[in-house]
A and B are shown apart, each in its own frame.
Chain A
Amino acid sequence: MSLQAASASTHWEKVAESIEFVPAEYSHKTQPDTAAREMLRCDQTELDRLVDAGLPFEDRAGVRHFDVNDLYNLGMYSGKGNTQPELAFRMLFRFATKSMDDLLRDKTWDFRVRMDCVDCRGEAPWRLEAPDVERFGGRVVVHQVIEPSAASSGEYSATVTTTGARTPLVAPRLRSLVRDYLDAGYRWQMVPIAMQADQELVHKLGATSCIAASLLLAQQFRAAGYAAEAKRGWFCGVLGGALDLPHACVEVTDDDGSVKTVDIAKAQLAARLSSDTGDFQDLCQGSTYNKVIPSTASGNASFGYHDCGSPVPVQVRADIRSTR
């Protein structure tokens, strides 16, 4: 089938109907027509059809602009096979179909974080929610910390070693809550981080995401009498940092006294991408694996702060590379 024929046969209206667009209060329409067509590998007529089907946009100087999350989700669920989001996730989750032993061994990362205070009001301490891997058998050797300064940017660097362990949940109640969540049929979507903190809204829409799922599950674990907290971290190996994929999971103290991590949204995403990811999905339900660097940040918090009084959140960019 030619590309043109394939494009014409894409049922964009059905795709648009199947996803939840980002509500206006959380939407940032920054992607112009040209970027949308490139992401979705579609032509102008198809983009017009998507707009007619409800894809929100803003017209600025005669050019339509779209929210990148909406475009991501349309691409992911298009079924075309050649949209940029489909290609990105296919490549990103290749590891989930391989041997899990590789995810359980020690792995070392060059870890760098740059923080920018874009509306800096002056000298003040920086605070970074740093890698917090020791609790799960990892190690951190810090090379550079961020000193208090008037500079509007700062850098932190470290060598971080992560490791994995098969520690599935043992408490029947916790396992049952995880199963109930998976069976609820929430659909994984890219969701703006600010919206993910509003987990009730995300789930009400029938959607899920790493942070929203972790916040809800942590709440349910606590309601069942378990110490649990949603925590953020970094998902490593994301195309040299080219793809910003927020990571969060639930840390819960199980009946055996151990702290387990539950990364339920990643399990759902893996299941959507490929049916032969069962081992990885199991690993997400209590075990730890070496592609995640946990941090000290709670589930819906920022990774970094500059206490200068600026109301604008600090921008945090991580560059995490596997050591060669």
Chain B
Amino acid sequence: MTDQLRAVREFILERNSTMDTVSDDLDLIDSRAINSLAFVEFIFLLEELTGDSIDPEDLDLDDFRTLKAIEARFFTQEAVR
């Protein structure tokens, strides 16, 4: 696991005291692990981790649905273009 994904996981666990782990396939939106307002903080975290600005207009919730999707969209070589 990359340091970036570890930071994402820690962010989610910090905000969900009843959760012990976050599996790669957990639906973070439907499970409300990230609620609508924490979602904004989450985007700022991703910007900090990637060093890139995220346009709120271009957001696709599916990119944020699981840790696996987040890694593919933001933390892989293909994502860092």
Answer yes or no: do A and B interact: yes
- What is A's interface to B at a CB cutoff of 8 Å? 38-39, 84-85, 87-88, 91-92, 94-95, 236-243, 291, 321-322, 324
B43 at the interface (CB under 8 A from A): yes
Contacts of A241 in B (CB 8 A): 61
Asked whether A87 lies within 8 Å of B57 as measured between CB atoms, the reply is no
B1 at the interface (CB under 8 A from A): no
**Distance of A177 Cα from B36 Cα, bound (Å):** 37
Asked whether A324 lies within 8 Å of B40 as measured between CB atoms, the reply is no
Asked whether A239 lies within 8 Å of B39 as measured between CB atoms, the reply is yes
Contacts of B19 in A (CB 8 A): none
What is the interface of chain B mostly: helix, strand, loop, or mixed?
helix
- Name the residue among A88, A240, A243, A321 with the largest chain B CB count within 10 angstroms: A240
Asked whether A84 lies within 8 Å of B56 as measured between CB atoms, the reply is no
Asked whether A322 lies within 8 Å of B41 as measured between CB atoms, the reply is no
What is the interface of chain A mostly: helix, strand, loop, or mixed?
helix
* Binary contact track B47-81/A, C-beta < 8 Å → 1, others 0: 00000000111111100100000000000000000
Asked whether A87 lies within 8 Å of B40 as measured between CB atoms, the reply is yes
**Distance of A267 Cα from B38 Cα, bound (Å):** 26
Asked whether B38 lies within 8 Å of A84 as measured between CB atoms, the reply is yes
Q: Which residue of B lies closest to A41 (CB)?
A: B41
- Assign chain B's interface to a size class: 10 to 19
Asked whether A94 lies within 8 Å of B44 as measured between CB atoms, the reply is no
The 8 Å CB contact of A91, one of B15, B38, B40, B58, is B40
Asked whether A240 lies within 8 Å of B40 as measured between CB atoms, the reply is no
Contacts of B37 in A (CB 8 A): 38-39, 84-85, 88, 242-243
Nearest CB on A from B24, distance (A):
21
Contacts of A91 in B (CB 8 A): 40, 43-44, 56
Asked whether B57 lies within 8 Å of A95 as measured between CB atoms, the reply is yes
Asked whether B59 lies within 8 Å of A38 as measured between CB atoms, the reply is no
Q: A39-B37, A91-B44, A240-B39 are in contact. List 9 more A-B contacts (CB 8 A).
A: A38-B15, A87-B40, A88-B37, A91-B56, A94-B56, A238-B56, A239-B39, A240-B61, A322-B58
**Distance of A153 Cα from B40 Cα, bound (Å):** 29
Asked whether A239 lies within 8 Å of B44 as measured between CB atoms, the reply is no
The 8 Å CB contact of B59, one of A39, A88, A240, A291, is A240
**24 pairs of residues in contact across A and B, judged by CB atoms under 8 Å:** A38-B15, A39-B37, A84-B38, A84-B40, A85-B37, A88-B40, A91-B40, A91-B43, A95-B57, A236-B57, A239-B40, A240-B56, A240-B64, A241-B61, A242-B36, A242-B37, A242-B39, A242-B40, A242-B61, A291-B57, A321-B59, A322-B58, A324-B58, A324-B60
